[in-house]
Structure formats: C-alpha cells, structure tokens
C-alpha cells in the first residue's frame, strides 16, 4: 500500500486541471490547517482567513509539487509560513490590534470568544455537532469505538490498529467504516438539511 | 460496485489506506460526485470533533471560499493559476540559462584579468620562503643553495602546491646558478601533471644540469614532467 496515495492521486488530478479534486483536499485538511494556524493567531476568524490564503497559495504552487514529501507536510509548511507572514504584517500595521491584549492570555481568549460571538449561531452549531458526534461515539460498540478513536485521535495506521486490537487489517478497515457511518447517520438525522443550514450560517 | 463498498473505499481513502490504483479511480469519482464529497467533508468533521479541533462545521465555508477565490482569480486573469504555472515552465528554464550565461561571462572576465595580471601579481607576491626540507634535497648539498634561489618563484606551501606557476623575470636574470626563465616557467606551468616530489626533482636536476652545463635546455624536462 502506498503511503499518501490518496492525496497524491488527488494532487495529480489537480495538476491536470481538476479543481474538484482540490476541493476534496481542502475538505480533508481544512480543520487541521485552521488548528495549526491558531497556534499563531488566537482569533478563529483570522485563522480561517489565513488558512484560506494558505490553501490558495498551495493551489498556485501545486504544479511545482513533485511528491518528494507527503502532501500534508508540504501544505503545513505553506500554512505555517502564511501564518508567520500574517503575524509579521499585522505587527507592522497594528491598526486593528488591541495593545491591551498583548500580554494577557485570558484577554486573548476573550478576544477569540468575542470574535466567535459575532456569529453566535455558528458557535451553537459547532457545539451541537460536537455533542452529536460525542453521543454517537458513546453509543458505538466497543470494537468500533476503539478503532475509530485509535485512528482519529491517536493517528494510528490500520496495521498498527490491527496489531493493537489483535485482528486482521481488513476488519479494522470495516470497523472504522462502520463507526463513521454510524456517526454520520446520526449527524444527518440531527441536521436534516444541516449542510444547507451550515452554509446559511457560515 | 455496491454503494456500501464505495463508501467503505472512501473511508479507507480518507485514511490513506486505499491502494494507489483504487485511489485513482475514487479520486476521479470524488472530484465530480457532490454527494460523495459531502460525505468526505463529514468524515473530516467527525475526525475534527474527536480531536477537539476548533470551529468544526459539517461543511465549513472554507472550501467554498477557497473555490470562489480561485474562480474569481482565474476569471480576472483568464487562465487558472495552475494552468499559468503549467504553461509558465519556460520561465524558470530561461532564468537558469541566463544565470549560467552570466556566471560564465564573469568567469571568462576573471580568467582574462588573471592572465593579464598574473606576472605582476607574482612579482608583488613573493615573500621568500624556504622550501620544506625534503630528504632527497638534503642528500644533494650542492644543489641546496641553488634551490633556495629558485624557491621564491615556486613558493611551495604546506600543501605542496605552488601558489603561482610563473617565475619572476628578476630570478631569470640571475647569474648562471639559476635556470633560464622560460625553462623554469615551462616546468612549473606543466607541474599540474606531476607530483610535488617529481617537480622538485625536476627543478633540482635542472639547476644542477644548468650549473654544470649551461646549454642543457628543455630536453630532459618533458620526460620528468610527464613521468607521473
């Protein structure tokens, strides 16, 4: 099995001009990139803007990507550089930067919450999604829950999970799929038309 | 392929656990199947929830924003960004060629300048430095003073490589103990092809031969110089 094969096949499609494939990559990595950027900026809205810039830069640079490293490693480097540059630019031009908050982590958190509270529905929706997912995970059979948590939280490969759970790799693949399906089906139940709702809120 | 099998493949592909050839097929389908892509987005959201990542939405607007920005950009420029890069492959090639050409020009100028300036440089260059005491030279006491007279031109360093390969004219005009300038220049100019010891022996032989018979010219030299 080729490591990073799925990303590479998507990257190759983008390089051949398929923009839809790039959307798939953005969907896969957007949360991770936003989380990464939030190490540099505390404001979620700003983090999302920077993540957007990073993805656009990645798209422009994608023809030069030769697959020497994993796609996400390459993307993360772009995101980090974009975040650093954004921080430097913001510090050079601190017009909308509140100096009172520079040395106060609590205030920083408050700033983040205040920015979030500008879209309270989005905040509520996020909490709702999280609650639904957690409840769905709690209701999973043990073997499915263990498999999905080892994969998503611990980042183990199927082979490592198979060794941990003492079962074949095919079984791991099936368990993770069934766990995802159970959670996804619960999400769709709760958010009937939820995608449209998320679009409206966003 | 059943829907469930397809979705199972999607889940495996999301985890980078699908074989390459299956990835190819599924990537193609994923790029044009909106429903499959939404499911993919929800898988990402589920993972983000489990990891406690911030700002989780079922379908965040980020992908839409990126897509819209890229569409706007390509509409403004007429050509999509990736296409511009694809067709713009000539530019880096031309840039590197121009870099090479300028480097070659600088090197050529430097060589010409060094050729014109080299004798003068050597004349200015030459603090007298005794040659290293090689056993073979010590065994030839008669030639030692003569070598000392030649050594400023040869300037043998610790690395045993001469600094300059041109004998100053002043040395060449010295009395009969010193070999003719042209001959010494010939030896040192070709010394790149001989080892330091061979070179020293050649010079010793030349000096000795010259003091014994001033008419001995370049004849023995080629054999010594090319002897490596």
What's the pLDDT band for A190 if we cut at 50, 70, 90?
Answer: confident
A174 burial type by CB count under 10 A (0-12 exposed, 13-18 middle, 19+ buried): middle
Return the SS3 of B162: strand
Percent of chain B with pLDDT over 90: 11
Residue from A1, A4, A5, A155 to probe the interface with B (highest B Cβ count within 10 Å): A5
Scored b (16 or more CB within 10 A) or e, B7-39 reads bbbbbbbbbbbbeeeebbebbbebbebeebbbb
Alpha helices, DSSP H, located in A62-157: 71-92, 105-117, 120-138, 142-152
Pairwise CA distance, residues B18 & B103, whole Å: 49
Nearest-CB residue to B28 (from A13, A22, A51):
A13
- pLDDT over 50 at B89, yes or no: no
Instruction: Please report the pLDDT score of residue B192 as a whole number.
Output: 63
Read off the pLDDT of each residue in A128-132 and give the average, rounded to a whole number.
89
The residue among A3 and A135 whose pLDDT is bigger is A135
- The residue ranking higher by pLDDT, B92 or B105, is B105
- Percent of all residues in chain A with a pLDDT value above 90, rounded to a whole number: 55
Q: Please judge whether B60 and A31 are an interchain contact, meaning their C-beta atoms are less than 8 angstroms apart.
A: yes
Q: Which residues, other chains included, contact A157 with Cβ-Cβ below 8 Å and sequence gap of 6+?
A: B15, B17
Distance from CA of B101 to the nearest CA of A (A): 25
Q: Residues with Cβ < 8 Å from B126, sequence gap 6 or more?
A: B152, B153, B155, B168
Q: Minimal CA–CA distance to A14: which of B65, B43, B19, B31? A: B31
Residues B54, A48: C-beta atoms closer than 8 Å: no
Between B209 and A147, name the one with better pLDDT.
A147
Gyration radius of chain B over CA positions: 38
pLDDT for res A161: 96
Instruction: Indicate the average pLDDT of chain B.
Output: 66
Q: Which two tokens stand for residue B40?
A: 């993919």
Residue to mutate among A4, A5, A6, A201, with most B CBs inside 10 A, is A6
- Per the rule left: phi > 0, alpha: psi between -120 and 50, beta: everything else, B185 is alpha
Contacts of A63 in chain B (CB under 8 A): 82, 85-86
Strand-pair partners of B162: B156
Phi, psi for residue B175 in degrees, rounded to 5: -60, -170
Q: Which of A104-108, B107-111, B162-166 comes out lowest in average pLDDT?
A: A104-108
User: Exposed (0-12), middle (13-18) or buried (19+): which is A124, by Cβ within 10 Å?
Assistant: exposed
B110 vs B77: which has the higher pLDDT? B110
Task: Give the pLDDT score at A147.
Answer: 96
pLDDT given at position A139: 94
CA gap B226, B222 in Å, rounded? 6
Give the best residue of B12, B13, B16 to mutate against chain A (max A CB count within 10 A).
B16
Residues of A in contact with B3 (CB under 8 A): none
pLDDT tens track for A32-86: 999 899 999 988 888 989 999 999 999 999 999 988 889 999 999 999 999 999 9
What digits encode the pLDDT tens for the residues B19-29?
988 898 999 99
* Pair of tokens at residue A89: 């630019």
Q: What is the DSSP string of B66-81?
A: HHHHHHHHHHHHSS-H
Of A27-31, B160-164, B224-228, the range with the highest mean pLDDT is: A27-31
Report the alpha-carbon distance of residue B46 to residue A194 in Å, rounded. Answer: 14
pLDDT band at B78 (very low <50, low <70, confident <90, very high): low
> Which residues, numbered 110 to 169 in chain A, qualify as contacts with chain B under a Cβ-Cβ cut-off of 8 Å?
122, 125-126, 129-130, 133-134, 137, 148-149, 151-153, 157-158
CB pairs under 8 A between A and B: 212
Q: What is the 3-state secondary structure (H, E, C) of B6-23?
A: HHHHHHHHHCCCCCHHHH
Backbone angles phi, psi at A184, to 5 degrees: -65, -40
Is pLDDT above 70 for B3? yes
A26/B62 Cβ within 8 A: yes
Stretch (H or E) spanning A160: helix A158-165
Q: Is the pLDDT of residue A175 over 80?
A: yes
Q: Which two tokens stand for residue B125?
A: 């260059």
CB contact under 8 A, B58 and A26: no
């Amino acid at each position: 099995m080729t490591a990073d094969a799925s990303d590479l096949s998507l990257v190759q499609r983008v390089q051949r001009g398929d923009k839809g494939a790039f959307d798939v990559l953005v969907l896969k990595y957007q949360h991770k990139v936003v989380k990464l950027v939030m190490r540099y900026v505390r404001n979620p809205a700003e983090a999302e803007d920077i993540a957007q810039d990073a993805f656009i830069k990645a798209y422009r640079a994608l023809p030069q990507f030769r697959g020497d490293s994993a796609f996400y490693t390459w993307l993360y480097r772009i995101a980090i550089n974009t975040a650093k540059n954004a921080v430097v630019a913001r510090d050079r031009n601190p017009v909308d930067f509140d100096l009172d908050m520079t040395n106060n982590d609590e205030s920083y958190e408050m700033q983040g919450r205040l920015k979030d509270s500008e879209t309270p529905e989005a905040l509520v929706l996020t909490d709702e999604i999280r609650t639904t997912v957690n409840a769905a995970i709690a209701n999973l059979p043990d073997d499915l829950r263990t498999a999905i948590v080892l994969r998503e939280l611990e980042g183990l490969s199927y082979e490592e999970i198979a060794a941990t759970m003492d079962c074949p790799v095919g079984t791991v693949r099936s368990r993770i799929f069934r766990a995802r399906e159970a959670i996804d089906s619960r999400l769709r139940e709760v958010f009937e038309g939820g995608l449209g709702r998320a679009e409206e809120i966003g | 392929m059943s829907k469930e099998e397809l979705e199972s493949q999607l889940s495996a592909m999301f985890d980078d656990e699908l074989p390459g050839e299956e990835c190819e097929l599924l990537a193609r389908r994923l790029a044009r199947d909106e429903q499959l892509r939404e499911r993919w987005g929800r898988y990402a959201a589920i993972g983000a929830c489990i990891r406690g990542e911030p700002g989780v939405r079922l379908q965040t607007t980020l992908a839409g924003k990126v897509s819209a920005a890229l569409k706007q950009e390509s509409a403004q420029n007429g050509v999509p960004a990736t296409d511009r890069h694809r067709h713009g492959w000539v530019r880096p090639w031309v840039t590197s060629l121009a870099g090479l050409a300028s480097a070659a020009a600088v090197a050529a100028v430097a060589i010409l300048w060094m050729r014109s300036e080299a004798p003068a440089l050597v004349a200015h260059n030459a603090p007298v430095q005794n040659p290293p005491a090689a056993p073979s030279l010590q065994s030839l006491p008669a030639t030692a003073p003569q070598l000392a007279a030649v050594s400023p031109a040869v300037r043998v360093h610790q690395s045993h490589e001469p600094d300059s390969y041109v004998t100053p004219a002043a040395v060449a005009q010295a009395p009969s103990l010193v070999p003719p300038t042209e001959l010494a220049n010939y030896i040192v100019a070709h010394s790149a092809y001989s080892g330091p010891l061979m070179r020293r022996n050649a010079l010793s032989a030349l000096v000795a031969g010259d003091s014994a018979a001033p008419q001995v010219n370049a004849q023995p030299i080629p054999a010594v110089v090319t002897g490596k």
